[in-house]
Amino acid sequence: MSVSDGLLSLVWVWSATAIYVLILARVCMSLPWRIFMRERGIQHMFFGAVLVLVLMWQMRAGVSAGLTVHFLGMTTLTLILGWDFAVLAGSLAMLVMTLLGIESGSSLPVSLICVVVLPVLVTVLVLRVAEAKLPRNFFVYMFVCAFFGAGLAVAVSGMSMAMLLWLDGVYSWSEIYHNYAMYLPLIMMPEGLLNGIIMTGIMVFHPDWIRTFDARVYIDEQ
């Protein structure tokens, strides 16, 4: 889920830039900067997450320029650190990928929206719906928020990039479907499984690490 240099027209790049700047401004206003600067544990988790994302995003596969698949990990990051820290950590990881020459610098805003912002928003939406409509249960959180949320997030991320390439006339819908869209379900299950396993382990051994998980509600009161 990356875009090569010059693949998309400038109208998409500048539109993505404007949207991302607004989101980043909202992130900077909502982040608990004092707590972040004071707590070494949060700092270690944050920068450790950036490093893990950089390593994970380098393992990718694809058959056409702009149509690649790789593990995201953004659902786990969102559930642990919250949406604001997740957007910032994902943005830093994407910037490192660009500096390493793996991601396109000219299309960086589009990648930030499709690979970072959209998966975070999908995860938050699934979490909010689960909290409002489903019982506060350990297994609901694990299967719906972590497993299902991660699978849906990677699908939305991949399809958003594919739709941009289709709308911009880079590829026909037939090419996108046969070379990319029909294979997305194959990454949804592993993405959900990976995030589900990681979140299960953290929920069992270190539930205090998870910003969106209250053990007193999901475990103690059951």
Spell out the SS3 assignment of 87-115: HHHHHHHHHHHHHCCCCCCCCHHHHHHHH
Q: What is the CA radius of gyration of the chain?
A: 17
Residue 106: other Cβ atoms inside 10 A: 15
Query: What was the pLDDT predicted at 65?
Result: 64
Measured at the alpha carbon of residue 57, what is the angle toward residues 198 and 25, in degrees to the nearest 5? 90
Query: What was the pLDDT predicted at 212?
Result: 86
Query: What was the pLDDT predicted at 23?
Result: 96
Question: pTM higher than 0.85 for the full model?
Answer: yes
Please name which of 135, 16, 125 lies closest in space to residue 7, comparing C-alpha atoms.
16
Please, are residues 76 and 198 in contact by the beta-carbon 8 Å criterion?
yes
With a cut of 50, which residues of the chain have pLDDT below it? none
Give the side-chain half-sphere CA count within 13 A for 56: 20
- Spatial separation of the C-alpha atoms in residues 110 and 102, rounded to whole Å: 15
Amino acid identity of residue 81, one-letter, is L
CATH 1.10.1760.20 matches 10-220: yes
Burial 173-191 (b: 16+ CB within 10 A, else e): eebbeeebbebbeebbeeb
- What six digits make up the tokens of 135? 């019982």
- Spatial separation of the C-alpha atoms in residues 74 and 56, rounded to whole Å: 11
Dump strand ranges (E) for the chain. 60-64, 67-70
List all residues 6 or more positions away from 76 whose beta carbon is below 8 Å from its beta carbon.
146, 150, 195, 198, 199
Phi then psi dihedrals of residue 61, to 5 deg? -140, 150
